[in-house]
Chains A and B, each alone.
Chain A
């Protein structure tokens, strides 16, 4: 099936190029709707990391570092945590995935989920260490506990497969396979 980007006018093609960023921002919005299911026993997943990871592997020309920065910034604003923490985590995770693209892109099946889990663990670790560093700068502050960030990592990995299926469908329908097809 011909994608929108291949057949459409240049203006529509430009709009199709914005789909990864829009998906990332939409994922931020969905994940940060402040409604705690299960009585807040589990934190919401980092849904926005899935489009960043996915399009960083498949179409890095559309998921640029600036787009990762914007998505991380939106996550920071809506999640309410210390400012800049998720921005830094998303950008550094993007850098890791971009540097190891061949390794990550070669994974398939359950191992692909493990690849994403490694990237998500890296992002969560960056966030935890950043908050811990900020806490050390504040007199009398406690180090953040590890339990909640591990729960968030588990939830993010749990939601990876359904989110990646939706994003894959959007990619097929709206974006297109590769830059060479444009």
Chain B
């Protein structure tokens, strides 16, 4: 609107009107495209919720619309048959433990690399930088052997250490950047007063680095919560399965209970969507900043 080309002084009345119209038309087109993009993004999710409340007949005959009768029983059955309670519990435990290990270990290492001088500092940082770009998928076979040798196959702890280990380089890199942006004068004062490095780190740096820690927590927390590939390789026992594994398992076991699948998928997806919408600014900033910093 503000950037219409041309020199206003010499415009005739007709020109102004037609430009105004074409601006209007352009705006309409922009909205049309954005609305189409939005509908095709969120309609499948509404459709999933609709399907979760339908009867089987309704699902097949009334594909597009909302359910004619609400079948809440789908949720009860899906919860029970898919054993969602146990899967959600596993996902919470594994995500929380992985994040705890990752955040503690990587923040101490990142602080060391950001602030301390010691022989080999540059070499260690370069190794971290190099391994950061290597996704764990390409080393999955040897990783499987390592995990088996350590005797932590089929264990929640095993998966926690695999997650923490394979996300370590990225997390250190990200936090190192945050630590370096904190002015060192603050620590110098505390060091002069006789505090040691760990005290400085815990009492001065960590509170200041909260935005950085939040970014890692959202970015990696999301990743651990949603992760399937590594969990699929390292967890084979049904009672240890996370949500993504449980869904796939459920889906392959009961091949005709479509409305129950819709209900199971809705149950694990709706809380994530609500959390996302409630904290969308945090999510969008955390996920994009996390990615960009890498």
Q: Do A and B come from one complex?
A: no
- A interface residues with partner B (beta carbon < 8 Å): none
